[in-house]
Amino acid sequence: MASTSAEIIAFLLTISGWVLVSSTLPTDYWKVSTIDGTVITTATFWANLWKTCVTDSTGVSNCKDFPSMLALDGYIQACRGLMISAVCLGFFGAIFGLVGMKCTKVGGSDQTKAKIACLAGLIFILSGLCSMTSCSLYANRITSEFFDPSFVAQKYELGAALFIGWAGASLCIIGGIIFCFSIAENSNSARRGYAYNGATSVMSSRTKVHNSVPDKTPPKHFDKNAYV
């Protein structure tokens, strides 16, 4: 029962993390910068993995897509690949997780389901690591440019999408670790069940042997006076 509850908690954590990671990919505010006037914010610059935009004080946004994938900076290409890999891995991890959970009717025996659940945990851990690496790489580029005194272009700060990606990656990793522990719990329960069945078989065999031994007690003969 405890193993089933742990698997349900792990599945909820990993699915929540996968949803957060998936929502991070198209989110606008990966990095943001503002130009403040004396009274109001005159312009807000923001960018993600696909475009860069500016929003004026009236709320009108002008965006420009990145012209060519091959002309992009290396870190943006790496972040794109890692985030797409994280989303794909999370999708397959969710399928394996459903099959490997004890509360579902597919997947075979408990030992087979435990192995499938462990595989799902490993996939979710890889998904979380991909998302964590992507967000950390992007954040490292932002902070290095921000604190570089020789960098004269527009400086940005960390956007909300990075924090969402970090949170989703953490949930995927935690849930994946819980999934991996399910195979250890299943092996321990299998050993306990084997020891109990062995003891039962020994007792039953002794009973069978005892019952199969013929009774060698000589019959008692009574004379006619014994019935008086």
Which pLDDT score, from 0 to 100, does residue 185 have? 66
Which pLDDT score, from 0 to 100, does residue 148 have? 87
Which pLDDT score, from 0 to 100, does residue 11 have? 92
Report if residue 90 sits inside a domain.
yes
Q: What is the CATH number of the domain that holds 129?
A: 1.20.140.150
Q: Which domain holds residue 113?
A: 4-28+73-190
Which pLDDT score, from 0 to 100, does residue 209 have? 46
Report if residue 170 sits inside a domain.
yes
Which pLDDT score, from 0 to 100, does residue 216 have? 54
How do residues 44-95 score in pLDDT, each as one tens digit? Answer: 888 989 988 888 877 788 888 888 878 888 889 999 999 999 999 999 999 9
Report if residue 169 sits inside a domain.
yes
Report if residue 65 sits inside a domain.
no
Report if residue 104 sits inside a domain.
yes
For the purposes of burial, counting CB atoms within 10 Å of the CB of 83, is it exposed (0-12), middle (13-18) or buried (19 or more)?
buried
Compute the distance between CA of residue 22 and CA of residue 46 in angstroms, rounded to an integer. 20
Report if residue 116 sits inside a domain.
yes
Report if residue 114 sits inside a domain.
yes
Question: How many domains, the chain?
Answer: 1
Report if residue 222 sits inside a domain.
no
- Low-confidence residues in the chain, pLDDT < 50: 193-205, 208-209, 222, 226-228
